[in-house]
Amino acid sequence: MRLVFVHGWALGPEIWDALASRLSEYAQARVNLGYFGAADIPTLQESDILVGHSAGLLWGLREKRDWAGVVSINSFARFCLDAQGRGCVRPAALRAMRLSLERDPQDCADAFRRSLGIAPASGSAQKEHLMEGLDLLGGFDATSSLDRRPCLVLGAEDDFLAPPAAARDLAAQSGGALALSATGGHGLPWTAPDFCAARIGEFLRAHEF
């Protein structure tokens, strides 16, 4: 068994440093989606457990259907609101992000990172990869990819981007366990690593991974 960490949009694998160090007893791998440099995607294995932050969950579920288990952190079944009202943001908000990214990729990515309390990235923003990430957020619905496998959904009551209702919907759709932190915002891997590590450890032990 291996934990495969996948970061969210305009972020990088370094967001996992605090959480990964608290789960060091488990084999691990990290995906780098190439938002600020070259992408680095390990070969995914059948026994892997997806640990996806925000859009990283969607990427993982789109790329691979047979994860042994899934851990969602600050994520959602879908991001852009559909006709039934499922999702987190209106399509207009995503269109505004596209326009901002077209004008100045570095400024757009750094502004988003600042909203999460993270310093600007050390590398140059890769517009093509960032646009691909927005396409994923705009069109992918994870509902059909959940397949009732072991699933843990972690969220925060004060998450401005993926509100508790989105976490509850994801847990309901997946049949997974739900745990909400009172604080931590949209950055639980670095704002509440102890909370995340404790819940993930309980999840892994409960399912005998």
Residues 40-63 have pLDDT tens digits of 999 999 999 999 999 999 999 999
Q: State the residue for tokens 């990515």.
A: 109
What pTM did the predictor assign?
0.96
The lowest-confidence range among 33-37, 82-86, 166-170 is 82-86
Query: In angstroms, what CA-CA distances link 43 with 2, 4, 48, 168?
Result: 12, 10, 10, 31
Q: Which amino acid is at 117?
A: G
The 10s digit of each residue's pLDDT in 8-48 is: 999 999 999 999 999 999 999 999 999 999 999 999 999 99
User: CA nearest 184: which of 51, 71, 73, 110?
Assistant: 73
Res 83: pLDDT: 81
Total of domains in the chain: 1
Q: Compute the C-alpha angle 24/202/32, nearest 5°.
A: 45
Cβ–Cβ < 8 Å for 185, 158: yes
Across residues 94-111, what is the average pLDDT? 96
User: CA nearest 150: which of 46, 62, 67?
Assistant: 67
Res 85: pLDDT: 82
User: How far is it between the farthest Cα atoms of the chain?
Assistant: 49
Res 148: pLDDT: 77
Res 23: pLDDT: 98
Across residues 92-113, what is the average pLDDT? 96
Range of the domain at 195: 2-206
Res 26: pLDDT: 98
Residue 86 pLDDT grade (very low, low, confident, very high; cuts 50, 70, 90): confident
The lowest-confidence range among 24-33, 41-50, 75-84, 157-166 is 75-84
pLDDT at 147 over 80: no
pLDDT at 143 over 90: no
CATH of the domain at 134: 3.40.50.1820
Res 115: pLDDT: 95
Written as six digits, the tokens of 60 are 């993982």
Share of the chain above pLDDT 70, in %: 100
Residue 64 pLDDT grade (very low, low, confident, very high; cuts 50, 70, 90): very high
Residue 93 pLDDT grade (very low, low, confident, very high; cuts 50, 70, 90): very high
* Mean of all residue pLDDT scores within the chain: 95
